[in-house]
């Protein structure tokens, strides 16, 4: 997508992988100091050795300090498990929580539309997927009444134990309000649900008046009894944000209020896959402990970070504006994350043509779009949507000039498509 990597992140990682670069005069001293500190924490001072299963102890300590700065709440390294991207941690936590047979089988509440990792992992673990629908009319807000409906329905045929929240949303790009998070925590407390907060887009907030509130911070601000009992796992990753380092496969989960015996089982479970990739752990360390004012790398780091995030904010607005000018397309504001999820009206003849080909109507539209324009978007049916509505997910990542052309091409293709099937 043409996004430039952040220099400091790559320099420290490169130094750790190729320590002879420590003699290279063009690389700033703070990057070298960081690399030496990280190498000293690696087994045999090498990034090629296994680390401890939950991750390098030093990196876990740095993640704990990062969380403490972010939330103003103590964080302990032993509650932090590094992982092969957030996905790996999400699957580990789900594995831990799934049990029972028939009516006692674990039910997992997930938002619709959702990131398909959840439905896939739930299916693979033979757990029960319980859908709660986000409210498209109110910018994909989460409504506790809808959670109650999904829970009550689920209780008729399984044992709901887990509530998953994606904030900021993927594919929907909404940012939950603080009040909404409080309501969800109260609901989880009342219904004895384990909360999984997928917060990998926490750096990607664009809308005026939107702010990221971590579930942990809100939980502890609410105080007892909530802060003492509600079990929470929250996830973060180097794949999104301003970093975009998805190929390094690095992330972490922090667990809060987990029963010590259960946490012992989690430690055992993660040890089965030996350890997360060490270069990814190194890169994660630079993300949670970035250059500080006065450091040689600080000015460049801040400039690069701001450039990425402000370009994304501009592209979020551009996407929404262009789509909303097209009759038949409706796009909610992209408040955060990296995607727009516009709703499209499809004429009856298009629905018939899709049926004849054995395809979902929005899949039919997306395939035609791909064949005619070379633009690849993901049909809403891949994420789940309310019956009778159609969407597609499109990333806002391409460079601005490309994105502008892409949006215009897509809009005129849609108009032509509707005409053809009307």
Q: What DSSP element (H or E) covers 128? A: strand 128-133
**pLDDT top residue among 318 and 116:** 318
Res. 116 pLDDT band, cuts 50 70 90: confident
- Three-state DSSP at 204 gives coil
Give mean pLDDT, residues 258-270.
Answer: 95
Q: What DSSP element (H or E) covers 159? A: strand 159-166
Q: What's the CA gap between 8 and 291, in Å, rounded?
A: 8
12 — phi, psi (to 5°)? -65, -45
Contact call for residues 207 and 244 (beta carbons, < 8 A): no
Domain topology for 7-288: 3.40.640
pLDDT digits (tens, 9 = 90+) for 41-64: 999 999 999 999 999 999 999 999
pLDDT at position 2 over 90: no
pLDDT at position 208 over 90: no
Quick one: pLDDT at residue 80? Answer: 97
Domain 317-420 CATH (choose: 3.90.25.10, 3.90.79.10, 3.30.1490.20, 3.90.1150.10): 3.90.1150.10
Contact call for residues 280 and 239 (beta carbons, < 8 A): no
pLDDT digits (tens, 9 = 90+) for 26-38: 999 999 999 999 9
pLDDT at position 115 over 90: no
Quick one: pLDDT at residue 171? Answer: 87
Nearest to 34 by CA among 7, 11, 51, 17: 11
pTM for the predicted model, two decimal places: 0.94
Quick one: pLDDT at residue 114? Answer: 86
pLDDT digits (tens, 9 = 90+) for 364-403: 999 999 999 999 999 999 899 999 999 999 999 999 999 9
Quick one: pLDDT at residue 371? Answer: 96
CA dihedral over 95, 99, 103, 106, signed as positive or negative: negative
Domain boundaries, given as residue ranges, for the chain: 7-288, 317-420
> Look-up: residue for tokens 């009342």?
190
Q: What's the CA gap between 139 and 332, in Å, rounded?
A: 6
pLDDT at position 18 over 90: yes
pLDDT digits (tens, 9 = 90+) for 331-357: 999 999 999 999 999 999 999 999 999
Quick one: pLDDT at residue 207? Answer: 86
Angle between helices 278-288 and 7-17 (to 10 degrees): 140
């Amino acid at each position: 997508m043409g996004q430039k990597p952040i220099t400091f992140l790559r320099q420290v990682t490169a130094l750790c992988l190729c320590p002879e670069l420590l003699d290279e005069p063009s690389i700033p001293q703070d990057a070298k100091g960081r690399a030496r500190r990280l190498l000293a924490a690696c087994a045999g001072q090498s990034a090629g050795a296994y680390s401890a299963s939950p991750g390098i102890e030093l990196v876990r300590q740095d993640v704990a300090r990062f969380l403490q700065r972010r939330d103003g709440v103590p964080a302990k390294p032993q509650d932090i498990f590094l992982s092969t991207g957030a996905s790996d941690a999400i699957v580990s936590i789900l594995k831990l929580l799934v049990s029972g047979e028939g009516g006692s089988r674990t039910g997992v509440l997930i938002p619709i539309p959702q990131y398909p990792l959840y439905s896939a992992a739930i299916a693979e673990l033979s757990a029960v997927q319980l859908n709660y629908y986000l409210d498209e009319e109110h910018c994909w807000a989460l409504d506790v009444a809808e959670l109650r409906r999904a829970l009550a329905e689920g209780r008729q045929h399984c044992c709901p134990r887990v509530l998953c929240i994606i904030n900021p949303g993927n594919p929907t790009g909404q940012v939950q309000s603080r009040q909404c998070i409080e309501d969800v925590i109260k609901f989880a407390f009342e219904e004895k649900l384990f909360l999984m907060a997928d917060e990998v887009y926490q750096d990607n907030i664009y809308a005026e008046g939107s702010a990221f509130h971590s579930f942990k911070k809100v939980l502890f601000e609410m105080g007892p009894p909530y802060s003492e009992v509600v079990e929470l796992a929250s996830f973060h990753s180097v794949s999104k944000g301003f970093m975009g380092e998805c190929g390094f496969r690095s992330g972490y989960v922090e667990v809060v209020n987990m029963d010590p015996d259960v946490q012992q089982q989690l430690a055992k479970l993660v040890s089965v896959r030996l350890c997360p990739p060490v270069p990814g752990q190194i890169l994660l360390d630079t993300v949670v402990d970035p250059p500080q004012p006065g450091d040689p790398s600080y000015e460049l780091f801040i400039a690069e970070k701001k450039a990425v995030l402000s370009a994304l904010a501009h592209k979020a607005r551009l996407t929404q504006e262009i789509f909303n000018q097209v009759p038949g397309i409706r796009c909610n504001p992209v408040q955060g994350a990296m995607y727009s999820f516009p709703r499209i009206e499809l004429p009856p003849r298009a629905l018939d043509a899709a049926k004849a080909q054995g395809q979902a109507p929005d899949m039919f539209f997306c395939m035609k779009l791909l064949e005619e324009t070379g633009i690849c978007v993901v049909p809403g049916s891949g994420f789940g949507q309310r019956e009778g509505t159609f969407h597609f997910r499109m990333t806002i990542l391409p460079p601005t000039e490309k994105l502008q052309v892409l949006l215009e091409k897509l809009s005129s293709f849609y108009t032509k498509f509707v005409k053809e099937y009307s």
